[in-house]
Structure 1
Amino acid sequence: MIRVAIIGAGAISRAHIEGYLAFPERCQIVAVADIFVEKAEEAVDKFGLAGQARAAADYKELLGQGIDLVSVCTPPYTHAEIAKSFLLAGSHVLVEKPMAASLRECDEMNEAAAQSGKILSVVAQNRFRSPMMKLKQVLDEGLAGKIVHAQVDSYWWRGHCYYDLWWRGTWEKEGGGCTINHAVHHIDALQWMMGMPKEVQALMANTSHDNAEVEDLSVAVLRFDSGALGQVTSSVVHHGEEQQLIFQGAAARISAPWKVKASVSKENGFPQPNPELERQLQELYDRLPEVEHEGHKGQIDNVLQGIEQGTPVLIDGHSGRSTLELITAIYKSASTNQLVKLPLAQEDPFYTREGIQAHATHFYEKTRSVTGFSKNEITVSGEK
């Protein structure tokens, strides 16, 4: 039986707790920790963990206590310290996105994992959804042809009060805005499917949230070694919250949500449909299996298998680092108005958390905050 601890009892912890509870024959939650211990106690009661899980105010109380696997569900600026502590104490670690607040912290986390021999996995739960998994497999088959353009639309909408929460909206504690904390899922999927670009040019703005230092909208253009171009729009100002990942191949267009279109040239160069290729791509997509467990549950299953069978996890610390490196390049380009070439060197000012805080664009100063939302109601923003 794998003994599990949840560190951080905020909103995202629910997905982790429910994920572990889906596998009662394989794991047991034995502790929940939060600096606001009443939140940990509430989680223990809410999910029926009384009698099997203790509530703790400090994660350090759990180090060396026979914890096999830890889910780190705390704000991004704490990820590195907590993950390193548990890895070096002999626990496997599943850490929420983004992996850390800087590339240096990612490297330290990966070093701790290598030193301990334990699993470090970074949450990217969208990879464990059928449309995304099947799109990756269709791309790998190559039927759509050489990819010439990739499009990421990570459209979300958040009200002004969203950034009133104490750790949100600051470069120090959140590490950025919508690019790192909302579009991270689509950016992860992009680099998983296409690999890393070699150049990034980006712009960002804060259009609607003057209670945050960070961006609420960014647009980036990417160039890949293959010659393909990509574009990534990250937003918390888009009504409707549509999200999509589109790949334009030389022969066809495929995407998540799934859609396929294929064209061939008429004699005059104008397009006409290629129904035969569309049929082949649709048949391939339909033949591919649905994932057994979706979202966080799927990733937790993958990590449990890694522990039980000694197999690699789908998303390790190096994959998590690649996603953060691409996001960091977007922030560097948008803050300096420069074309950024990848990979980023350790000497780069944006390699460290301190460097990011010093050089990233600060749109506004965060002057008010609350420690938690009560029944999703909040009043700070309305007090002008």
Structure 2
Amino acid sequence: MPPYRVAIVGTGGIASAHAEALSAAQGTTGLARVELVAAVDVDLSRAEAFAKTWSMPVAGTTLTDVLAAEPIDLVHICTPPGSHVALAAEALAAGATAVVEKPIAVSLAAVDELLAAETEAPGSVAVISQHRFGSGALRLRGIVEAGAFGRPLIATCHTQWYRDAAYFAVPWRGSFEVEGGGPTMGHGIHQMDLLLATLGEWSEVTAIAARTSRETGTEDVSMALVRFESDVLASVVNSVVSPREVSSLRFDFEHATVELEHLYGYSDNDFTVTGAPGFEDEVAAAWAVGPAGRPSSHGAQVSSVLDALDAGETPPVPLRTARATLELVAAIYRSAFTRRPVLRGEISADDPFTQRMDGNGAPWA
């Protein structure tokens, strides 16, 4: 079939990961599966430079102009979070499928607006959640579904990164209005998304958050205790004040512990599996079966998106799945700022924390 025609909106650092993944996508015949058509950025010189780098014939300052001039099948949105929903809705209205960087929106209300727009459009929205697509995570989900390690009992999910003053000097960073939040929203969301992909739906969260040292309108640290519907208990830490940076997940099952430690992406070698006494051989044999050899990456997810489009199916990760992760983020803020537990589904349409992640305002505002 002919290659999908693609526009990339926003030409900052993450856009190159999208362009590289799209350029590398090949079908079974070895032919390219996509054609990079247009680069869009509010700064025309940046759009033109990006278009030249990736051999894109069109550069523009608005998605509106590009969609009016060119037939586009896929729109990859790599802009700051506050613009995601409007751009994705515009792509949907033009009949394209939108692939949007996480976080999908700065509020639950915004993502619900996009869900409504999606129901009226022929295309759909896929949200970048690249950690779901590495072979190690796929293998782990198979283990959970098969019960090969027994029941999962507890888990830890830590995103401990370091961002200095220069990072927060970028105008759109460090605000609930444009970025949607601090490390809970913009950094730890990828690890939390993988936590939910592995363990299923959460049911209750108790959290705290603080602005400990950074000059920012958001938190720079949050901690949460999460109960899942399966009764698994998890601790979650999100930080941008940690000099030794690490992204880590740990799952303790009845018969094994699975640990994943990396920073911005993992391979199979980043997993450690330990069998409980008496179960070592059984655990090793179970872990040896399943997907292998694919690191987490934008390329892995982009290939899955294209496969779904080829088959006429909804691309992964669909908007409603991404909303479940965003609801956990909103619940962490609500619990931290109101100082009480939050149940899943408790944040109603008229709740302040549906409209903004900081509700009526952060305690330090």
TM value normalised by structure 1: 0.86
Match 1:253 to one of 230, 253, 257:
257
Report 1:6-85 matches (<5 A). Answer: 6-23=8-25, 25-47=32-54, 49=55, 52-64=56-68, 65-85=70-90
Distance in 1 (alpha carbons) for counterparts of 2:108 and 2:293: 31
Q: How many residue pairs end up in the alignment? A: 347
Matching residue of 2:247:
243
**Structure 2 unaligned runs (5+)?**
27-31, 261-269
Measure the CA separation in 2 of the matches of 1:294 and 1:195: 20
Contact 1:103/1:325 (8 A) holds in 2: yes
Counterparts of 1:36 and 1:227, CA distance in 2 = 49
Cα contact 1:160–1:208 (8 A) shared by 2: no
Structure 1 residues 261 and 294: alpha-carbon distance in aligned structure 2, compared to 1, 3 A threshold: closer
Distance 1:104 1:33, change over 3 A: same
8 Å Cα contact 1:93/1:120 also seen in 2? yes
- 1:241 is paired with a residue whose SS is strand
Task: Decide which moves more: 21-30 or 78-87.
Answer: 21-30
Q: Give the distance between the partners of 1:328 and 1:296, measured in 2 at CA.
A: 25
Between stretches 83-92 and 56-65, larger displacement belongs to: 56-65
Rg (Cα) greater in structure: 1
| Identity score, percent | 33
Q: What is the CA-CA distance between 1:289 and the residue it aligns to? A: 2.1
The Cα of 1:203 is off from its aligned counterpart by 0.6
1:37-85, CA deviations, whole angstroms, 9 ceiling, x for partnerless residues?
A: 11111111223x1xx4211111111234311000010010111100011
Partner of 1:280: 282
User: Which residue in 1 is equivalent to 2:297?
Assistant: 295
Match of 1:359 in 2: 360
One-letter amino acid matched to 1:314: P
1:199 touches 1:222 (CA, 8 Å); kept in 2? yes
Unaligned stretches of 5+ residues in structure 1: 264-272, 365-384
Measure the CA separation in 1 of the matches of 2:210 and 2:295: 37
For residues 295-352 of structure 1, the C-alpha deviation after alignment (integer angstroms, 9 at most, x for no partner) is 1011111111121111333311011111101011001111111111111221221111
Q: 1:331 to 1:357 in 2, by over 3 A?
A: closer
Alignment of 1:169-318 (within 5 A): 169-210=174-215, 212-256=216-260, 257-263=270-276, 273-274=277-278, 277-290=279-292, 292=294, 294-318=296-320
Distance across 2 between alignment mates of 1:162 and 1:229: 33
Greater mean alpha carbon deviation, residues 4-13 or residues 129-138: 129-138
Dislocated runs of 4+, deviation >6 Å: none
Name the residue aligned to 1:146.
Answer: 151
CA distance in 2, matches of 1:135, 1:329: 26
Instruction: Pick closer, same or farther for the CA change 1:311–1:281 going to 2, 3 Å.
Output: farther
Aligned counterparts of 1:317 and 1:254: Cα–Cα separation in 2: 29
**Structure 1 residue 122 and structure 2 residue 122: aligned?**
no
- Which residue matches 1:345? 348
The question of whether the paired residues in 2 share the 8 Å contact of 1:119 and 1:307 is answered with no
Secondary structure at 1:359's aligned position in 2?
coil
Query: Letter of the aligned partner of 1:290 in structure 2?
Result: A
Cα distance change on mapping 1:229 and 1:318 into 2, 3 Å = same
TM-score computed with the length of structure 2 as normaliser: 0.90
Q: Does 1:327 align with 2:324?
A: no
- Whether the 8 Å contact between 2:188 and 2:238 is mirrored in structure 1 is yes
Q: CA deviation at 1:358?
A: 4.9
